[in-house]
Amino acid sequence: MFKAIGLSTHVWNNFIRSALLLAGFPVLLVLLSFGLSMLFSAGSQTVGEGFVTAWQQLPSFVGGAVVVSLIWFAIAWVANQRIIDAVSGARLVSRESDRRLWDLMETLCISRGETMPRLAMIESPGRNAFASGLDRQLGNITVTRGLMEALDDRELSAVLAHELTHIRNGDARLAVIAAVFTGVITLGFDLLHGRIGRGGIAMGGGGTSGSSTPSSSGGSRSKGSPGNNAGAIIIIIGVAIIILAGVLSLALRSALSRNREFLADAGAVQITGDADGMILALRKVAIQPDLPGLPGQVQAMLLEHPQGTKGGSIWATHPPIEDRISALVKFAGGRDPGLVEAAPPVAQADPAEATGTPSPEAPAPGPPWDHALPQPIPGVPPIPGVTLPIPSFSDEVAAMRSKPNQSRPPEA
């Protein structure tokens, strides 16, 4: 990657890295197909013959893997959002039900010319959020009640901008693609387990016991025959290839998820222009981010997933909060206040204010020009014991309109 010297180059590097990681999944799919083809070539007499047979069968296995992937993609495209809503227990949000959340999201979308995403709420004290939806026109942002109560408008806007960036960049779609590829590749483990469990792998012409021809000594083919040894080696190679493909697919999916979080943090700063707000939001979210009821696939989509930062840099689905904040300080010029204590819940808006109607006790405020000028008037020294009448701007305009028009005297 190129050396990042600012926010823009940081974003470009993450885009390039994501493209390279995504390109690795088709390669692993071919690798898995070759491993399965090796298993089905275990009846070859020599290892070289097994490789040749596996290579000849490879197009059929790749075609089968592609068909399974397309079916999986179709199911995910149709039912993705409904499945996420069902497992998370999220409810839809409207302008009337959650005016504050709706207004902040609408402001961000108007400022960037984006389509207003579908908003949802999880009634949980945990502080978290995630974006979903396979298309920018069908985006969805889900937040928790705990996040709404813990963050002020500035910090909540940063979180919403972070999730909006996920939608703009197609991260939810990338997550589904990575999950489908990983699911198809790990399906190879199931096929491997079933084939070995049924004893269906023939080795070295051994076939079944009924196919064995007694030798002159009255015994069957020795288990140490060259063909039998070649079949065992081919099986070991095929199993190793399948395991390698599965391990690398999990590592690629984790790396892709980590990379997109850095990119979404940078995108939030580009939208709001407020790196400090994003840093403060991350600090507060880190206090109580847990949502234990969500399945692992949804947990990987969260703004912060503490368990996802474990397992070393290879298997973690989320970068540590400290690394994300350090990147915002280094590339976006943010200021880190350090660890913050649990803040009291943000005061909820008055119901009358939430609906946009003025309270009956207090009259609706007038325009700013309808108020009296401040006393003393700037630039005019005060006169002791004298209080000057200071009309409002509206009074001045009315007085000017009441004066008769004074035409200029005719010139000689």
* pLDDT tens column, 20-58: 777 888 888 898 889 888 888 888 888 888 899 999 999
Q: How confident is the model at residue 296 (pLDDT cuts 50, 70, 90)?
A: confident
pLDDT at residue 206, rounded to an integer:
40
Q: Is 390 a domain residue?
A: no
CA 355 – CA 113 distance, rounded (Å): 25
Helix (H, G, I), strand (E, B) or coil at 161: helix
Q: What is the DSSP string of 217-285?
A: TS----TT-HHHHHHHHHHHHHHHHHHHHHHHHHHHHHHHHHHHHHHHHHHHHHHHS-HHHHHHHHHHH
CA 366 – CA 96 distance, rounded (Å): 25
CA 378 – CA 205 distance, rounded (Å): 103
287: domain range?
A: 89-168+262-332
Say whether pLDDT at 122 is over 90: yes
Helix (H, G, I), strand (E, B) or coil at 188: helix
User: Do 100 and 150 reside in the same domain of the chain?
Assistant: yes
pLDDT at residue 221, rounded to an integer:
44
Q: Is 217 a domain residue?
A: no
Say whether pLDDT at 211 is over 50: no
Phi and psi of 136, rounded to 5°? -65, -30
- Please give the average per-residue pLDDT across 222-251, as a whole number: 78
Q: How confident is the model at residue 80 (pLDDT cuts 50, 70, 90)?
A: confident
User: Do 200 and 275 reside in the same domain of the chain?
Assistant: no
CA 246 – CA 25 distance, rounded (Å): 10
Q: Is 57 a domain residue?
A: yes
Q: Is 381 a domain residue?
A: no
Query: Hey, which residues does 92 pair with through a beta bridge?
Result: 120
- Please give the average per-residue pLDDT across 258-263, as a whole number: 81
Mean pLDDT of the chain: 75
How do strand 129-132 and strand 118-122 relate by DSSP bridges? Answer: unpaired
Say whether pLDDT at 214 is over 50: no
pLDDT at residue 16, rounded to an integer:
76
User: Do 191 and 248 reside in the same domain of the chain?
Assistant: yes
- Please give the average per-residue pLDDT across 108-125, as a whole number: 91
pLDDT at residue 212, rounded to an integer:
41
Say whether pLDDT at 155 is over 90: yes
CA 137 – CA 300 distance, rounded (Å): 22
User: Do 21 and 151 reside in the same domain of the chain?
Assistant: no
User: Do 147 and 101 reside in the same domain of the chain?
Assistant: yes
Asked if 255 contacts 249 with a C-beta cutoff of 8 angstroms, the reply is no
Q: How confident is the model at residue 210 (pLDDT cuts 50, 70, 90)?
A: very low
Q: What percent of the chain has pLDDT over 70?
A: 67
Helix (H, G, I), strand (E, B) or coil at 245: helix
Q: Packing angle between helix 47-88 and helix 226-272, nearest 10 degrees? A: 40
Q: Radius of gyration (Cα) for the chain, nearest Å?
A: 33
Say whether pLDDT at 172 is over 70: yes
Q: Is 213 a domain residue?
A: no
Q: Is 313 a domain residue?
A: yes
User: Do 197 and 252 reside in the same domain of the chain?
Assistant: yes
User: Do 180 and 247 reside in the same domain of the chain?
Assistant: yes
CA 179 – CA 141 distance, rounded (Å): 20
pLDDT at residue 395, rounded to an integer:
62
- C-alpha separations of 121 from 85, 131, 138, 184 in Å: 10, 12, 17, 32
CA 147 – CA 124 distance, rounded (Å): 9
How many domains is the chain partitioned into structurally? Answer: 2
CA 412 – CA 155 distance, rounded (Å): 70
User: Do 161 and 291 reside in the same domain of the chain?
Assistant: yes
> With b meaning 16 or more CB within 10 Å and e meaning fewer, what string describes 177-203?
bbbbbbebbebbeeebeebeeeeebbb
Considering only residues 395 and 320, tell me which one the structure prediction assigns the higher pLDDT.
320
CA 21 – CA 256 distance, rounded (Å): 6
User: Do 180 and 326 reside in the same domain of the chain?
Assistant: no
pLDDT at residue 300, rounded to an integer:
80
- Please give the average per-residue pLDDT across 212-235, as a whole number: 58
